[in-house]
Structure 1
Amino acid sequence: MGFGYGAGAYQQVRSHGGVESADKHGLITLLMDGALERLVKARAHMMRGETGPKGETISRCIEIIGGLRDALDRKADPSLVDRLDSLYEYMSRRLLQANLRDDASIIDEVSRLLQQVRDSWVQIAPAPAGRTVGA
């Protein structure tokens, strides 16, 4: 699972704790949580007219989304992976537009989309080691 240019995203979510012991599924969840947290912060910076911090926060969120794209398992369901990749690409483009246009509604849109992906992701969490399905 390589994170390419999104490698910095791993460091960004370290503050959530548990990264060292997180499995692949848990790490992806932490990345999504980190992106969602940054979207809230970016929106707040935007509403206060804090251009520099807003841009930095949006850029970090785009990096995290890049890490999520890099982490997609290309051997899994190709149709689903392609759709997720396209969705992540769309989110990144929309965040660039939000930054340029100072448009909080775009940040809200991306937040809703990412929250839906995260909610679905956590529902498919693998069973903890040592537990069998149906136990």
Structure 2
Amino acid sequence: MNPMRALRQYQKVNAHAQVSEASPHRLVQMLMEGGLDRMAQAKGALSRGDIAQKGLMLGKAIEIISGLRDGLEPEKAEDPEAIQRLDALYNYMGNRLVEANRVNDAEMIDEVARLLITVKTGWDAIAPQ
């Protein structure tokens, strides 16, 4: 048996277990962490000149940000305008990553990562209800 394949399978099962047991608050944290990880992986691939991998990782980061955006519920929010601003920010972040992918710009990836870290810091400070 291939030990790397076994490790990947374990990680996959472990990730599924974490997701199935996670609160909605934790799931959002996990999505944000995943987005940041994919951006870091994209930057690494870009620095190695692995353009295909960079595109794949940025595509995954964009999907995660789209998922965060899709999960917004302004109709349930105490401050719907704040949710609309967050929606606009997620939209901007996705567009910047598309552009970063197009022009191979690590600084644009860093910009989006900094924005997502700011949002995540605020989210992390909110205790799950």
TM-score bracket relative to the smaller structure = 0.7 to 0.9
- Of structures 1 and 2, the one with the larger relative CO (CA 8 A, separation 6+) is 1
Hey, what's the Cα distance between the residues in 1 that align with 2:17 and 2:114?
24
Deviations 1:1-51 (A, max 9, x none): xxxxxxxxxxx9x73851111111110000000000011000001111111
Within the alignment, does 1:64 sit opposite 2:45 as a pair? no
TM-score of the pair, normalised by structure 1 = 0.81
* Unaligned runs of at least 5 residues, structure 2: 1-11
Q: Sequence identity, in percent?
A: 46
Within the alignment, does 1:45 sit opposite 2:45 as a pair? yes
4+ aligned runs moved over 6 Å, structure 1: none
Q: How many residues align?
A: 115
- Structure label with greater radius of gyration: 2
Within the alignment, does 1:34 sit opposite 2:27 as a pair? no
Match of 1:54 in 2: 54
Taking only aligned residues, the RMSD between alpha carbons, in angstroms, comes to 1.6
Out of 94, 99, 102, the position equivalent to 1:100 is 102
Within the alignment, does 1:90 sit opposite 2:92 as a pair? yes
* 1:126 Cα deviation from its structure 2 partner: 1.9
Match of 2:18 in 1: 18
* Unaligned runs of at least 5 residues, structure 1: 1-11, 128-135
Greater helix share, 1 or 2?
A: 2
